[in-house]
Amino acid sequence: MKKNQRLFLVLILLFIAGINNIYSQKLVESVASIAGNEVIYLSDIENTITDIIRGGNKTPLEDLRCTVLEEMLVSKLFLDQARIDSIQVADDAVDSELNMRMNDAIRRAGSEEALVSYFKKSMLEIKRDIKKTMLEQETVREVQSKLSEKIKITPAALKKFYGSIPKDSLPVIPAKYQFSIIQLDPPSNEDNKAEARQKLLDIRSQILAGKSFSVLASLYSEDTESAKKGGEIGYLTRSELEKEYADAAFSLTKNTVSKIVETKYGYHIIQLIDKKGELANTRHILVRPKVKPDQTKKAIATLDSLANQIRKDSIKFETAALRFSTHKDSKINGGKFVSTNPSERITWFTLEELNPEMYMHVRNLKVGEISEPFKTTDENNNEVFRIIKLDNELAAHSANLKDDYQSLYNQALGKERIKVFDKWTKNKIAITYIKISDEFKSCDFLKNGWLK
């Protein structure tokens, strides 16, 4: 197995550290500890320690054994409470992430066979064990959420928290920027699309005539990462693929080639390598529409004229964005640039979060200024043209209540949550049946009420 594959397998091991091997064992194991109705087996601890050491941890073995046991015991207390409170996490609550984890493990290991060989378990057993761990983690989060749901940080409490942080220990917040954009797609882009489709049709004809899909993918695909592997992208679930790509891929039979498929990334032809249940391994050739020099010149001229009108107050930037911009995510907000993550919708960005062209233009602007037109790529790596208006700038600074209220609030909330969990754990230990194996009774943490 290649070195990088070994390294990733160590990471996989860290992820599944602590998985209960009760399913695959034929003999009754030694019990390391019991907390309420929850059992920790000696193999749970030893397997976890082995995994952590493989990851490079240099902690002395005896200290590591005690640390692992303590973390497992605390987790078991939360699981025992979930049983008492009838808190259950539905199996399908983790299915989506489970599939992603499994697929990622297969892809990084190189194949299902490599993964099975390494863990000496069937794919069904590996998936079952990982799912069990994920369900336990989610159950613990549910209990913790219930315990901390009433925690609120008042402005006075936040001010006190901020005041308790030594000035030389305050985090440094990097410079951030708010800006708006007006974007134009290449003029006459349908012609470019037609040329891209025709190029793919020609490549597809070569494949149907007997030429190697892998070789042609290496030569012509514009997905540079997969092109290095002959177009192969590895095992992925439907949810991890663009809908159009997934529909085509899962309808193919082994080694057959799709018709041209359009996604937001461009045009693809797809070959199915293998399909196992909800996972499909495919290779593809991606071709993007190409922008011609005259189209670039025309788009730049249009944006230049628009920028000059805005500078002269002939039209407001917000109005121009709504009327002319092709950037759907921002145009309805007057061009205000927002992160594409729907759960965050961040409007402040550091320069490092921007692509090179955006970086160069934002950093040279003063608040209120509009950039010269430039060519860049959008979130899907397609060529587009933009102008930027810098709306606001926040210089690099030590965290303060005025500019970083939410960040400090989250830190204070996290600290209060830890206090609540620690207090709850202490009380839970006092009222819960706990048994510790003699071989662990030298662990220092047990002096904090664990031994009855």
Of the chain, the end-to-end C-alpha distance in Å amounts to: 49
**Is residue 373 very low, low, confident or very high in pLDDT (cuts 50, 70, 90)?**
very high
**Which residues have CB under 8 Å from 401's CB, separation 6+?**
158, 159, 162, 408
Closest CA to 62 of 326, 450, 439: 439
Mean pLDDT of the chain: 88
Q: Which residue has the tokens 């309808």?
A: 251
**Is residue 127 very low, low, confident or very high in pLDDT (cuts 50, 70, 90)?**
confident
For 209-220, what is the mean pLDDT? 97
pLDDT value, residue 26: 34
List the 232-236 sheet strands across, edge first. Answer: 232-236, 279-287, 266-276, 261-263
With 0-12 / 13-18 / 19 or more C-beta atoms within 10 angstroms meaning exposed / middle / buried, residue 210 is exposed
Residue 228 DSSP label? T
**Is residue 29 very low, low, confident or very high in pLDDT (cuts 50, 70, 90)?**
low
With 0-12 / 13-18 / 19 or more C-beta atoms within 10 angstroms meaning exposed / middle / buried, residue 297 is exposed
Rounded Cα gap, residues 344 and 436, in angstroms: 44
Give the predicted TM-score (pTM) of the model.
0.64
Taking 50 as the threshold, does the pLDDT of residue 5 lie above it?
A: no
pLDDT value, residue 103: 75
Lookup: tokens for 418: 């830890």
For 441-447, what is the mean pLDDT? 94
Residue ranges of domains in the chain, CATH in brackets: 3-152+417-447 (1.10.4030.10), 176-188+292-398 (3.10.50.40), 190-287 (3.10.50.40)
Taking 80 as the threshold, does the pLDDT of residue 51 lie above it?
A: no
Classify residue 234 as left (phi > 0), alpha (psi -120 to 50) or beta.
Answer: left
DSSP-derived 3-state class of residue 436:
strand
Taking 60 as the threshold, does the pLDDT of residue 253 lie above it?
A: yes
